[in-house]
Amino acid sequence: MSLKPYQRDFITFAIKHSALRFGTFTLKSGRISPYFFNAGLFNTGSALSSLGSFYASAIQDSGVAFDVIFGPAYKGIPLVSSTAIALSTEHNLDVPYSFNRKEIKDHGEGGNIVGAPLIGKILIIDDVITAGTAIRESLAIISAHNAQLVGVVVAVDRQEKGIGEKSAIRELEMQYKIKVISIVTLEDIIDYIREQGGDDEHLKDMEEYRLKYGVKE
Ligand SMILES: O=P(O)(O)OC[C@H]1O[C@H](OP(=O)(O)OP(=O)(O)O)[C@H](O)[C@@H]1O
C-alpha cells in the first residue's frame, strides 16, 4: 500500500522534530530498535497544532463512527484537545472531547472526567500503545459511564509482537472488538525510507527488525 500524502507529511514532520529518530535504541522490552518515536518532542504550539491535524486526517481517513473523543491523562490531554480543534477547523466537525484526571478530585465539581460527558461511541486519542495498559484503564472508565469504546487512534503502530505472536494492538482489537487506527505504521516508515531512496544500511536495519519482531498479519 502506498503512503497517503498526510502520512508522508507526518513522517517528514516527525523527523524534523526529532520525534522520529533512526539509530540504535534499547526499548523498555529490551529489544534493540533501529528507530525510536517520542511524541513528547512535539512540544511547541505549532508542532501541536500540526499534530492535531494529522490525527484528524487519520480519523477522517478511517471512516470510524464516533460521538466523543477521549484523551487518557496525561499525554492524551493535549492530543485530544488539538485533535478536537483540527476536526473543527479543518473538517467542519464540532466533536465533544474529554479527558480523565489521574487523581480523583473530591471538591468543586468533583469526579475524574473533565470535558464532555462520556456518552455513546468513544474514540480514544493517545500517542502510542505498548502493552495496552492505558487503553484497558480508559476502557474501565468508559464502561463505568455506560459508554462504548469503538476505537483508539495512535500516532505510530510499531507492528511488533508482544509476549505472544500478536501485537498488543491486535490483541486489544480482537479482545474488545475495537479498531486501532494509526497515523503511520512501521511498514509506512519503511516505505517512506525506500521512497526517499536514502541510506541502504538503514533500510536493511529496519527490514531486519521487522523480520525479527514484526507481526505477521
Ligand atoms: O500501552 P501501555 O503499556 O499502557 O503504554 C502506553 C501508554 O504509556 C504512556 O502513558 P503513561 O501511562 O506513561 O502516562 P503519561 O501519559 O502520564 O505519561 C503513553 O502515553 C500511553 O498512554
**What values do phi and psi take at 187, rounded to 5?**
-60, -40
Residue 172 has, within 13 A of its CA and on its CB side, a CA count of 28
Distance, CA of 140 to CA of 181 (rounded, Å): 20
45-62 and 5-16 helices cross at what angle (nearest 10)? 150
Ligand 1, atom 14, residue with closest C-alpha: 74
Distance, CA of 21 to CA of 35 (rounded, Å): 6
* Whole-number pLDDT of residue 109: 67
The answer to whether the CB of 192 falls within 8 A of the CB of 2 is no
For CA atoms 77, 79, 84, 85, the dihedral sign is: positive
Q: Judge whether 107 counts as a catalytic residue.
A: yes
Three-state DSSP at 90 gives helix
Nearest 5°: the CA angle 196, 199, 202 is: 110
Distance, CA of 43 to CA of 79 (rounded, Å): 11
* Whole-number pLDDT of residue 10: 98
Task: Ligand 1 pocket test: pick from 126, 136, 160 the residue with the most ligand atoms within 8 Å of its Cβ.
Answer: 126
ipTM score for this prediction:
0.95
Distance 196 CA to ligand 1 centre (A): 32
* Whole-number pLDDT of residue 216: 74
Question: Cell for 113?
Answer: 472526567
* Whole-number pLDDT of residue 107: 73
**Ligand 1 binding pocket includes 129 (Cβ within 6 Å):** yes
* Whole-number pLDDT of residue 29: 87
Name residues whose C-beta falls within 8 Å of residue 44's C-beta, 6 or more positions apart in sequence.
none
- Sheet strands (E) in 7-118: 20-26, 32-37, 68-71, 97-105, 111-115
Mean predicted lDDT score pLDDT of the chain: 94
| Tens place of pLDDT per residue across the chain (217 aa) | 689 999 999 999 999 999 999 999 999 889 999 999 999 999 999 999 999 999 999 999 999 999 999 999 999 999 999 999 999 999 999 999 999 999 877 777 667 899 999 999 999 999 999 999 999 999 999 999 999 999 999 999 999 998 888 999 999 999 999 999 999 999 999 999 999 887 788 899 999 999 999 997 6
* Whole-number pLDDT of residue 52: 98
Ligand 1, atom 17, residue with closest C-alpha: 74
The answer to whether the CB of 176 falls within 8 A of the CB of 148 is no
The answer to whether the CB of 20 falls within 8 A of the CB of 35 is yes
* Whole-number pLDDT of residue 1: 64
Distance, CA of 156 to CA of 90 (rounded, Å): 22
